[in-house]
Amino acid sequence: MGMTIGEKIIAAAAGVQSVKPGEIHTVNVDYLMSNDGTTHLTIDMYQTQLKHPHIADPKKLVFIIDHNIPAENPKTAEVHKKMREFAKKYDISFFEGKGVCHQIMFEKFVKPGQFIMGADSHTCSYGALGAFGTGIGCTDFLYAMVTGTSWVMVPETIRFELTGKFREGVYPRDLILTIIRDLGANGCNYKVMEFAGEAEHNMSVNDRFVLCNLAVEAGAKTGIAEPDEKVTEFLHGQGREGGTMYQSDPDAQFLQTYHYDLSKIESVVARPDFVDTAVPVREIGDVRIDEAFLGSCNNGRIDELRVAAALLKGKKVHPDVRFLVAPASNAVYLQALEEGIIDILMEAGAMVMNANCSVCWGSCQGVIGAGEVLISTGTRNFKGRAGHKDSKVYLASAATVTASAIAGKIMEAAGI
């Protein structure tokens, strides 16, 4: 029987000919990524609970400080120090202040066909390059770090056949928020979301990243976009090559196949406090905002910054709104500087911050107070996600977020 992309990657990682959903396999892990959210917990366990501490292969480990950077208090500074010193001692790849962890992995490490685990739920993003990335906790991380392996139950795959073209002003962000609305916040619980079809192949790897990154918000184990020559071109541009591009067999078994015609997708906004609550922006009514955020691993790449700059050129951010922008990585930031995008954003009144998770995870930058309203390109809008428990977060595309920052209330780009 044929296999899906996810099944083929697991089979390769497990060193077996074929796998079936429901089977449990021990897999070799190609990379293990951990950020400053929980790495200190892993290090504590490594140093205090193991009789014979040992790292299977330090070259497979990547530590990235991106959640609270630069450190905002002495406690965070201690966490960072612990990571920095451990990485140095064991010769582990280490990045600090260079960008959001998943963007760094995308730019520097991930190859198609790899099996990657990360101590962050949005590790599912690596399917943008045809890899299997999945989020784990710090104990699973410790186990994989020591043994070089982990166990995985083979998930079933749900396929999304994408056709057609987006109308002007509609983006992959609107598509994935629509899919999550249609299927629900656990509609793909423990499944692989496989994106394919002519429209998927027309998308850039950046756009595929937007889709795969939010797979976990539908409960999925990962998202994988069918890889093609665009992946090869991207890797070539980043100076790396190799990997294996898997396709699903014609007789592969999918739990379900959904068809989405991109021309029918509208600009949407997900309402507080759940990601699966999208409604068309035109139906949202009069929602005043206090803050707008453009950034995060989902939507902080050059494509989104270009969209924002095109809308903001010659205009001003509304006087009652703080518009915060955090490029997803320094590479994105430098590109935006070169294209004059940062000038446009700042002249319009935006605050441009260093590349980091920023407002998306509600800790060190742009935290909102009681009763305040944020519209964001971040990954989540859970209760209290960006600050006070009685604040509200709406999720939308870069275009809608920028248009709202100009209007002072939630608005489609077409309204500007």
Query: Which residues contact other proteins by CB under 8 A?
Result: 24, 37-38, 41, 45, 49-52, 54, 68, 73, 75-76, 79, 119-121, 135-140, 142-143, 146-147, 151, 185-186, 189-190, 216, 219, 221, 274, 361-363, 367, 380, 382-385, 387, 389
CB of 244 to other proteins, least distance (A): 25
192-231 burial, b for 16+ CB within 10 Å, e for fewer?
A: bbbbbbebbbebebbbbbbbbbbbbbbbbbbbbbbbbebb
Q: Which is nearer to other proteins, 17 or 73 (CB)?
A: 73
DSSP 365-385: SS-B-TT-EEEESSS---TTT
* Nearer of residues 128 and 275 to other proteins, judged by Cβ: 275
| CB closer to other proteins out of 72 and 198 | 72
Q: How far apart are the C-alpha atoms of 27 and 151, rounded to whole Å?
A: 6
Please choose, from the candidates 343, 354, 292, 345, the residue with its C-alpha nearest in 3D space to the C-alpha of residue 316: 345
Do 147 and 242 form a contact (C-beta atoms < 8 A)? no
Cβ at position 217, least distance to other proteins in Å: 8
**Closest CB 21 distance from other proteins, rounded Å:** 14
Give 405: exposed, middle or buried? Use CB within 10 Å, 0-12, 13-18, 19+: buried
Q: What is the closest distance, in whole angstroms, from the C-beta atom of residue 323 to other proteins in the complex?
A: 22
Nearer to other proteins, 146 or 334 (CB): 146
Minimal distance, residue 134 CB to other proteins, in Å: 8
CB 320 within 8 Å of CB 405: no
Written as one letter, the residue type at 404 is S
- Class of residue 384 by CB neighbours under 10 A (exposed 0-12, middle 13-18, buried 19+): middle
Minimum Å gap between C-beta 64 and other proteins is 14
Q: Which is nearer to other proteins, 16 or 24 (CB)?
A: 24
The string over 82-116, giving b where at least 16 C-beta atoms fall within 10 Å of a residue's C-beta and e elsewhere, is bbeebbeeeebbbbeebbbbbbbbbbbbbbbbbbb
Task: Please identify, using beta-carbon distances, which residue of 38 and 402 lies nearer to other proteins.
Answer: 38
**Cβ closest to other proteins, residue 95 vs residue 274:** 274
Query: Is residue 83 a contact partner of residue 94, using CB atoms and an 8 Å limit?
Result: yes
Q: How far is the CB of 117 from other proteins (least distance, A)?
A: 10
By C-beta, is 117 or 205 nearer to other proteins? 117
Least distance in angstroms from the C-beta of 146 to other proteins: 6
- For residue 155, the 8-state DSSP code is P
Per DSSP, 390 falls in state: T
Nearer to other proteins, 67 or 409 (CB): 67
Distance CA 208, CA 205 (A): 5
Give the helix/strand (H/E) hosting 117. Answer: strand 115-118
How far apart CA 100 and CA 96 sit, in angstroms, is: 10
Q: State in angstroms the smallest separation of the CB of 38 from other proteins.
A: 6
State the burial class of residue 244 (Cβ atoms within 10 Å of its Cβ: 0-12, 13-18, 19+): middle
